[in-house]
Amino acid sequence: MDFKNFLDSVEADSAPPASLSEGAQALWWTKKGDWEAAHDLAQDMPGALGSRIHGLLHAIEGDMGNAAYWYHRAGEDPIDASQIDTEWEAIAKSIL
């Protein structure tokens, strides 16, 4: 699935396509505005990608200290609130 189709799916569908990876599903729910569903997926994802998505979710929540912790675990520099949309897009494009 390409990025445009991914965004179209968020607008048109009530659930992410089953073919999406766990990380893409977490980002799908994030864009859909369901923080809980996204967090449930991200918190169980191993590795740097899961930590980065988890950090993004805590940044969205406004918990920048927790976000920084997860970005550190991912080996990434923490983001600030002004970078949330850009970060979401960068992660999405990297995994689609």
Q: Are 54 and 42 in contact (CB under 8 A)?
A: yes
14-49 in b/e burial notation, b at 16+ Cβ within 10 A?
eebeeebebbbbbbbbbbbeeeebbbebbeebeeeb
| Torsion on CA atoms 15, 16, 21, 23, rounded to nearest 10 | -80
| Alpha-carbon gap, residue 1 to 73, rounded angstroms | 28
Q: Could you list the pLDDT tens digit for every one of the 96 residues in the chain?
A: 999 999 999 999 999 999 999 999 999 999 999 999 999 999 999 999 999 999 999 999 999 999 999 999 999 999 999 999 999 999 999 999
CATH fold for the domain made of 21-95: 1.25.40
> What is the pTM (predicted TM-score) of this model?
0.95
pLDDT tens track for 4-24:
999 999 999 999 999 999 999
Domain spans, the chain: 21-95
Q: Are 33 and 57 in contact (CB under 8 A)?
A: no
